[in-house]
Structure 1
């Protein structure tokens, strides 16, 4: 069996220092908002504090994952811990949805029993939260572009910054127009947005963990491309999966027209490697060569 891979993609420095700064900022924001929410009676402020607390947890998980992913492969962990970041993204997305569900319940209860709120405290604390979360968002923005783990942490912070903006608007409306129900309405809006963002990330990380074929990858196109190579008779028993943000793996059986030499197979293997990397962004391949073998020739075979 031939195995080959390309290292054209490199695991980026995920900014551990920026994550630590964000963790410290959010701990401070959370403590301030809890105290302010209890003093003012604002559910929106308390819900924002709760979300900030989940931000702290998510950032710690993300930071831990960036350290674990560098663990070297061993006899017991042949892939190392390369999937730590995907697992972190899945956990963080799950917490977003759970917290959002709790906020919906609290908002509905507060709609039934609206309460007068000390709006001045809400306004000042929401402004502090906007500044703190805004700085954290800027620190993590670049690394969130192409890394699911960092994106999960980034989304926690971005949605919380938006939530703080909503809380600020609500505080101003309560202060100048005495619209008390706006606190519950904003809490509900924040929760719905969290569910939308969290579900998309949860779905994507789940697909990677379950070894689904990446959405941008066409199995049929890959098979057709390989079968254009001279000497290749059939491509079957194909598996394609995404190990982490940097690696997409292809495993397949290839039937050859003739009983080729091992040296000839190595040349064809290199050709396949170049083809699937440049055309389909696959950087790890594992090929089982066959000649005249009586097995199932379907592209997808249930193991």
Structure 2
């Protein structure tokens, strides 16, 4: 019996390209952060003067936008550190922690704004519709530009996607606030401000749920979205000479970094090394899994059913 362990990882050139991409992502995020901080300060002042909860909720959301981007930048810096000591994957999963924290903050804000909006719907204050409308229109332009900046970064990273979702919901918030400001200005119905706040809270909750769901999939080591484990298992069994597949595991260390490990049993006349290389190449080409750990052994002759050598069979992974 032959044990053949293989760890097929990214090469040096790929790591260098990743570093260049991360630098570009950081520049786009910093640009968005600068826009947000500059506008947020003015929005707080106008929101207090206009007595608009919608504007103040927008400003609070922009503060979390800024925090989300700062957190994303810190996470990117930590994730770029090389593996060392007991951290054999480095700190790559810090990005997932960042995404999860973004999801939690979106939900927390949504709850706060729902409670406050309900109270204001019952007892609406006087709202300056003109100030609300003017500020929201400017906010739409600023936030659209900031959202575009973050969209230019690599959104396959759940960390970057978390920052993007914050900005996208904030853009929706400004649109809702502008509509509310116009309604207050032209009709005098002050409760429109509270209605807009409720809509913003719902968008926050929806975006937060997506981030929490995807980050928990990584922490629970579920297979990455879009990868069919049953199909992978079937393809492995279809390789010539493969008798059985055990302990097939597919998971993500962080977003965009899928891993696979498996134990394969081959017929006694097969070359374990050649089959291992073939399978690693198949997984990389067909499923984009570059990091694989494969244990390849010869099956005991007494355990091989001659019918299995005549064609592949499909087995559910253990």
Residues 103, 187 of structure 1: 8 Å contact kept: yes
Match of 2:81 in 1: 71
Deviation string, structure 1 residues 110-144 (Cα, Å, up to 9, x no partner): 11111111222212222232222111111111225
Q: Does the residue aligned with 1:15 lie in a helix, a strand or coil?
A: helix
Match of 2:166 in 1: 156
- CA shift, 1:80, in A, is 1.0
Q: Match for 1:97 among 107, 114, 130?
A: 107
Q: Does the residue aligned with 2:278 lie in a helix, a strand or coil?
A: helix
Q: TM-score, normalised by structure 1?
A: 0.90
Q: Does the residue aligned with 1:50 lie in a helix, a strand or coil?
A: helix
- CA shift, 1:90, in A, is 1.3
Q: TM-score, normalised by structure 2?
A: 0.86
Residues 2, 266 of structure 1: 8 Å contact kept: no
1:268/1:292 CA distance change after superposition, 3 Å = closer
Q: Does the residue aligned with 1:251 lie in a helix, a strand or coil?
A: strand
Worse-superposed segment, 126-135 or 68-77 = 126-135
Deviation string, structure 1 residues 181-220 (Cα, Å, up to 9, x no partner): 1000010011111111221122012101221112322222
- CA shift, 1:6, in A, is 4.8
Query: Aligned runs of 1:34-73 on 2, under 5 Å?
Result: 34-73=44-83
Count residues in correspondence.
Answer: 296
Residues 126, 165 of structure 1: 8 Å contact kept: yes
1:144/1:180 CA distance change after superposition, 3 Å = farther
- CA shift, 1:249, in A, is 0.8
Q: Match for 1:111 among 103, 115, 121?
A: 121
Query: Aligned runs of 1:1-303 on 2, under 5 Å?
Result: 1-7=5-11, 11=18, 12-13=21-22, 14-258=24-268, 264-292=271-299, 300-301=317-318
Residues 166, 207 of structure 2: 8 Å contact kept: no
Instruction: Give me the whole-angstrom Cα distance separating, in 1, the residues matched to 2:316 and 2:253.
Output: 21
Q: Does the residue aligned with 1:227 lie in a helix, a strand or coil?
A: helix
Instruction: Give me the whole-angstrom Cα distance separating, in 2, the residues matched to 1:146 and 1:276.
Output: 20
Residues 240, 251 of structure 1: 8 Å contact kept: yes
CA RMSD of aligned residues (A): 2.2
1:41/1:188 CA distance change after superposition, 3 Å = same
